[in-house]
Every structure is written in structure tokens, then in C-alpha cells.
Amino acid sequence: MSKISAIAIAVAAVLIVAGFTVVRSFAADNAPIPQEGQAAPTFTLPTLNSPSTSLSPHDLRGQVWVLNVWASWCEACRDEHPHLVEFAKLKALPIYGLDYKDQREPAQQWLAERGNPYDASLFDGNGRVGIDFGDYGVPETFIIDKQGVIRFKQIGALTPEVLADKVLPLLRKLNG
């Protein structure tokens, strides 16, 4: 291995560790970032299309639901979005979007052009809720059970394979 390659690997490792440290330092009250099997963070956010209407996980208790973190500026979200639109047609469970560090008008236009798979999309303009979920890049997707516990976390874009092989079997299990 050349000296330049070794330096590049060391720099990359330091940047990854620093990135995780920064994300954790921004979590509300330095609370631990939730993992699968832990309670989803609590929040109340306005919806993208109606700023006077808000939604929280408490409103969704008693049902299994998806939280998909996305943004109009996100390239990987463009790849994921058609799969979410198709998945939403199954009406297997409610799908909520978390519009992360975005602006309302471009986000609304993005959904109007590409289709809207969400029962509602929540507006997280400053990224606070995304950070509380430990989100360090979009897209990310969470399945939250009837008690408000995270049962699945997908870092990166959902694919048809992930939906068929992981998400649908989990939904059948959680919905009995």
C-alpha cells in the first residue's frame, strides 16, 4: 500500500468518527440516538402542505407506520421515490414523510411532479427531528410499531428487494 493510500484511509476514518460525534452532539439533550428496539423520539411537527396542522408519534400510537426521511435536494431520494410510490399503492400501512432540511415550496413541487406516497409529510426545516432520529443522510426509513418502538431502520434508499424481503415480512409480523 502506498503512503498516499494509507493517509487517505486514515483521513477517511477520522472524518467518519468526527461525523458520528457531531451527529451525536446535536441530539436533543445529548439523548442517545435511538436504534431498532428502542422508542422513537417524540416530536411535534407541522405538515408540509398545511403549516397550521401538526402531527406527532403520539397521534400514531396503536398503528404500525413508516417514517421516510427525504428532501427535494436529495439525489438518492429521486432513485427511491418511484419505489415508495408503488409501495404506497399496496396500502399496507401509513407512510409519513419527514422533509429534512428543505424548503416548503421546492418540496411541494417535487411531490407534485413525482407523485406523493405519503399520508402526510412533516416539515423538518431545521433538521432537528432528523438529528434526533440519528439521521446523518437522506434517505432513511424507519418502521415504528403500535407502541412507538423502532422495529426497522434502512440507511439509504429503499429498493424493491428491501421492500419485498424485509419490509413486507416485518409488516405481516407486526400486524399479526
Nearest to 95 by CA among 53, 52, 37, 139: 139
d(CA 133, CA 32): 9
Could you report the per-residue pLDDT of 123-136, keeping only the tens digit for each? 999 999 999 999 87
Do 43 and 105 lie in one domain? The reply is yes
Q: Is the pLDDT of residue 46 over 50?
A: yes
pTM summary value: 0.82
The total domain count for the chain is: 2
Q: 3-state DSSP call for residue 64?
A: coil
Do 50 and 95 lie in one domain? The reply is yes
Do 79 and 103 lie in one domain? The reply is yes
User: For residue 152, which amino acid is it?
Assistant: F
Do 15 and 81 lie in one domain? The reply is no
The residues, any chain, with a CB within 8 Å of residue 25's CB and separated by 6 or more, are: none
Range of the domain at 6: 1-30
Q: What is the CATH number of the domain that holds 148?
A: 3.40.30.10
